[in-house]
Amino acid sequence: MILNGRCILVVEDESLIAMLVEDALIDAGAEVLGPAATVEEALALFGSGNPDAAVLDINLAGQVSTPVADLLADRGIPFVVATGYGAAGLSERHRGVPVLAKPYDPQELVETLARIC
């Protein structure tokens, strides 16, 4: 299993996408933290420890998830941005982060996470 034992934070406000991501990660051997649908939920999950990596949607029901991206970067936690907006939605600080444009193949997400872990 490609993500065997890795803890992956999932930050996604669309429940169907969050379930698909969660299933793909579990199938790849990961433990899933979340999913969190808001910035507040995502930040609260850090109270239970640091994940090994994260999947982050930039737009959470109209709220930009930059505070979560900043915390991940500050803690040295790699993450993938999964968004319908492409790299244009990223702040300058996070321009080098891998971006998967929605809709994306869950296997591509798993392979990208494996690469950055």
Q: Which long-range CB contacts under 8 A does 19-27 form with residues at least 24 apart?
A: 20/106, 21/55, 21/82, 21/106, 21/109, 23/106, 24/106, 24/107, 24/109, 24/110, 25/55, 25/110, 25/113, 27/1
Question: 55-99, pLDDT tens digit by residue?
Answer: 999 889 888 899 999 999 999 999 999 887 666 666 788 788 999
- From the CB of residue 42, how many other CB atoms can be counted at a distance below 10 Å? 27
Residue 31 predicted with pLDDT over 90: yes
Question: 95-117, pLDDT tens digit by residue?
Answer: 889 999 888 899 999 999 999 99
pTM for the model stands at 0.93
Res 59: pLDDT: 87
Q: Which domains are present in the chain?
A: 7-116 (3.40.50.2300)
Q: pLDDT band for position 17 (50/70/90)?
A: very high
User: Greater confidence, 85 or 45?
Assistant: 45
